[in-house]
Amino acid sequence: MSGTFRNILSPANKARVVELLKGNRASVTRRGHKRAAVLVPMFTQVGKDAPEILFTIRSSTLTHHRGQVSFPGGVMDEGDQSLVDTALRETEEELGINPEQVTVWGCLPAMPDREGTASIVPVLGSLGEFDPASIIRNEDEVEEAFHLSVQHLSNPVNHSYTRFSKPLSSLHFPVFHGGPSRIWGLTGFILDTVLSLVLPSEVNYQMISDRYPHVGQR
């Protein structure tokens, strides 16, 4: 693995990304929407230096989005002091990861869900050196937890796109392949945005949504 990928979680790259995210406010969501947050957890496995990203597959018993790939997260509770707290609390509830293990880098702008009923704030964070075997999965919410390397995710071979049915037919969204399940929808869009942020300029990662400007045009 090249030094470029190894340096993704370095202090210098963290400082660069933190500065880029500084202007975003986790408290800003659309009026009338439910407030929710997800954590995008980056880490390196113990004894390895390849940065990875952790995902969950939602339980098949859930009412909404069952069986789909997601990041840990959920709707803000009254006891949460912020949407960052929401993301960390939900991650602990779903995967048993203590909030103290997470170094928060910042928040991406709030994004609407597919139904248009919630504003979801992606929280970018690092678990540092982390053993995925330590995950304590909440079986009521999480069918499976898996992880993929940033190098794999940023490889164009593992990218494609999709277009939703109306009213979103004019929009196209990234799809990531090569894992236990495809990564698409809002999770794919968040991932695409995160990769464009954390990869150093020499990788020249171009957001998938910029590669297919013709999709959805009539």
For every residue of the chain, which 3-state class applies, written as one string?
Answer: CCHHHHHHHCHHHHHHHHHHHCCCCCCCCCCCCEEEEEEEEEEEECCCCCEEEEEEEECCCCCCCCCCEECCEEECCCCCCCHHHHHHHHHHHHHCCCHHHCEEEEECCCEECCCCCEEEEEEEEEEEEECHHHCCCCCCCEEEEEEEEHHHHCCHHHEEEEECCCCCCCCEEEEECCCCCCECHHHHHHHHHHHHHHCCHHHCCCCHHHHCCCCCCC
Confidence bin at 151 (pLDDT 50/70/90): very high
Domain count for the chain, please give it: 1
Question: For a pLDDT cut of 70, what percent of the chain falls above it?
Answer: 76
Q: Does some domain include residue 200?
A: no
Range of the domain at 147: 3-152
72 vs 63, higher pLDDT? 72
Confidence bin at 215 (pLDDT 50/70/90): very low
Q: Does some domain include residue 129?
A: yes
Q: Given a cut of 70, is residue 152 above it in pLDDT?
A: yes
Q: Does some domain include residue 201?
A: no
Q: Does some domain include residue 32?
A: yes
Q: Please name the residues in contact with 178: beta carbons below 8 A apart, sequence gap of 6 or more.
A: 148, 152, 157, 158
Mean pLDDT, range 78-105, rounded to an integer: 95
Q: Does some domain include residue 189?
A: no
Mean pLDDT for all residues in the chain: 82
Question: For a pLDDT cut of 90, what percent of the chain falls above it?
Answer: 47
Out of 75-79, 99-103, 162-166, pick the least confident: 162-166
The pLDDT of residue 118 is: 75
Q: Does some domain include residue 215?
A: no
Confidence bin at 212 (pLDDT 50/70/90): very low
Residue 74, beta-bridge partner list: 37
Q: Does some domain include residue 175?
A: no
What is the per-residue pLDDT across 117-143, written as a single tens digit (0 to 9) for each? 778 999 999 999 999 999 999 988 888
Q: Does some domain include residue 166?
A: no
Domain harbouring 65, CATH code: 3.90.79.10
Q: Given a cut of 80, is residue 213 above it in pLDDT?
A: no
Q: Given a cut of 70, is residue 170 above it in pLDDT?
A: no
